[in-house]
Structure 1
Amino acid sequence: MDTTKLTAFAQAVGVDIKELKQLLNGKVDNATVNQLIEQAKTAVKNDILGEGVSEQFDTLKEIADHIANLNGDTGGAVVQKIADLGNRIDAIASLDLVATYNQAKA
């Protein structure tokens, strides 16, 4: 898998973060940083599981258990989900995140 685009994106984000750190220079307190981290964790979880997932299905084990109760076979369902995840990763790898990022910040 070609990771050139992802590497370029990470470098572009790193440059911007460095600039932001220099601008802020200690002007953000720990409480704000902790709040932003919690928001980011929630956003990542929502991206992975989908928004509005009930607490009943907020872990992979709970999802697998539910699938097992539905049809008694988690193996096939898990393999399918892994295949779907592989397809999503391939789609992400082909994105031009640098162009998207630069367009968004312009």
Structure 2
Amino acid sequence: MTTPSPAPDEPLTPELYAQIHGLSRPSARARLSAMFTPRSDVDQAEFERRVDAAVAEETAALRARIAELEKDAAFLSALEAAGVHNWEGYDNACEIANGG
């Protein structure tokens, strides 16, 4: 069952963001379009614009997280190359990292 599309001034809810998490723009638009009935062509265009904006925001956040993880991985590689496994406290750090 579909419901009317959110009004143009109504924000996309966390539930809607969850529906499009990790999807490409066409996939996100298709998934959300199946959930809503457009009120008019103008509403449909605005809805698609908002979906595109939400997907772009999610994509930017994911890219930033990937960059952060790549930086952390590079630093870890540098520590390992410098012989961190021989440093005092290395075993304690491994235990902490593994939930111990």
Q: TM tier, shorter chain?
A: 0.3 to 0.5
Greater helix proportion: 1
After TM superposition, the score normalised by the length of structure 1 is: 0.32
After TM superposition, the score normalised by the length of structure 2 is: 0.34
| Structure having the higher Rg | 2
Select the structure with the greater relative contact order (CA < 8 A; seq sep ≥ 6). 1
